[in-house]
Structure 1
Amino acid sequence: MASWAELQASVPEFAAGVRGIFDKGRHKTMATVRADGSPRISGIEAEFVDGELTFGSMAGSNKGADLRRDPRLAIHSPSLDPPEDVPESWQGDAKITGKAVLTHEVTEGEAPGPRFRVDIEEAVRVRVGEPADHLLIEVWRPDSGLRRIARR
């Protein structure tokens, strides 16, 4: 597992691309594991703060309960369609998988509840390649670094 800062230090250009995609919109999608082992999809607002990917959960939420029981998660960036006329100009979409680590509880104010950071197991960026006849899939893992896959 790695922090966002470690990913950035390892592959700065890739990290900038992933972050640019995540920063395209406020709302992301998160998958967690329910008590019965089935997946739960939730909306989430996540942000990059002080070298970490962070997010909060409302007090008493199912998502927060999922993460306290089983910290595994996947977060998907906002998703926009590629431009039809110039598909290779599409930034792509991005996914980060890992584990939620509870950092603190907010007990007062507008949004009480747990706050988490993400220990990153994998970061993925998918975009249209050049020429626009294939997808370029970039996968980074802390134990194996960055690899690129062209899929036609």
Structure 2
Amino acid sequence: MAKWRDVAESAPEFAALVRESFESHKHKTIATVRKDGSPRVSGIEAYIVGDELWFGSMPGALKARDLQRDPRFALHGPPVLLGAGDSAGSSGGDTKLSGHAVEVTDRDRIAPMLAARGFGHDAFSESHFFTADIREVVLTRIEGPAMVMDLWRPGQGLRRLERP
């Protein structure tokens, strides 16, 4: 697994494009694994702060309980919403990340992340905070007539797939 720092260090141009796409909208979608093994899809906010990808949830949220029990997740952001007159090429693409969530309970570690995002200490209020051990990052976009998928995995670097 890898931290965001690993993505940024091994493929800086890719990481910059992913970050631009990822941060173009506040809301993301996360998939977690329910107790019975079926998927759960939820809205979430996620941020790249320093060397790590952070996300969290309200106290006792089902997605947090899912991640505490089974840390696997897939995160999609931003949702690309096109109007009737828009082309898929007008978007910077969309980002998908997957990996394992690592719960962070140390307030001293959480405080700098909250401060960097402009949140006050009241955001602690028993919320759940996680960082990501990243297994895969994919940026998908349209370039000319082709759909282009740039894929990064730890230890494998960056790969490009194109579909006409």
Q: TM-score, normalising length from structure 2?
A: 0.84
Q: Which has the higher helix share?
A: 2
- Name 2:126's counterpart in structure 1: 112
- Name 1:40's counterpart in structure 2: 40
- What is the SS of the residue equivalent to 2:37? coil
Query: Of 148, 157, 160, which residue of structure 2 is paired with 1:136?
Result: 148
| RMSD, aligned α-carbons | 1.8
Cα displacement string for residues 3-27 of structure 1 (whole angstroms, at most 9, x for unaligned residues): 0011100000000111101111111
User: Is residue 68 from structure 1 mapped to residue 82 from structure 2 by the alignment?
Assistant: no
Distance 1:81 1:50 in 2: 28
Deviation for aligned residue 1:88: 3.6
The one-letter code of the counterpart of 1:75 is L
- What is the SS of the residue equivalent to 2:66? helix
The one-letter code of the counterpart of 1:23 is E
Gaps of 5+ in 1: none
Distance 1:77 1:150 in 2: 21
- Name 1:147's counterpart in structure 2: 159
The percent of aligned pairs where both chains have the same amino acid is 46
Gaps of 5+ in 2: 108-120
Distance 1:85 1:28 in 2: 21
User: Is residue 90 from structure 1 mapped to residue 91 from structure 2 by the alignment?
Assistant: yes
Which stretch shifts more, 79-88 or 46-55?
A: 79-88
Q: In the comparison of the two structures, how many residue pairs are matched?
A: 149
